[in-house]
Amino acid sequence: MIASDTITNLLENKIVLIVPAGTDSALVKFEDIQNADSIALGDPASVPAGQYAEEALTSLGIWDKIQGKVSFGTNVTEVLNQVAAASADAGIVYATDAASMADQVTVIAEAPEGSLGKKVIYPVAVVKNTAHQEAAKNFVEFLKTDEAIAVFEAYGFTKGE
């Protein structure tokens, strides 16, 4: 369905540990989530950010230790809102979600390098059978410019590899 020669790993998102803004949190690194009294996570059964959180916390040996403290949300926004309202002491969301509420949550740390099997990558490509092949290729090229990447970075993404 897509022109394979146009595939580009455009953007990367990170999984981050957040706390309510303005709180005097003792959490300083991602692994410190185990020290929080209450934790909000996306339900790994249906929420991709929750699946990433489970993967990272399992690889760090923390997943089983925190189960008694976790409230599972049905989506990332629910997790973000629980932390923003201080209904949870900490949570794990995408960096882009945290950036959307930077006045209400504070990012403590990103998931440590190697704690996820694969990075959270957002590719872009041209559809093979598009009626506007040249316009689509030009749009993909535009998305890779420094100007476009700067806009994505303002929303919490980083440039993909």
pLDDT tens across 144-157, in order?
999 999 999 999 99
pLDDT tens across 86-108, in order?
999 999 999 999 999 999 999 99
What gap in Å lies between CA 38 and CA 137, rounded to an integer? Answer: 47
Q: What's the confidence (pLDDT) of residue 136?
A: 95
Phi, psi of 109 (to 5 degrees): -165, 160
Helices (H), the chain: 48-59, 63-66, 76-84, 95-100, 133-143, 146-154
Whether pTM > 0.75 for this model: the answer is: yes
What is the set of domains in the chain, with CATH numbers? Answer: 4-10+120-159 (no CATH), 14-110 (3.40.190.10)
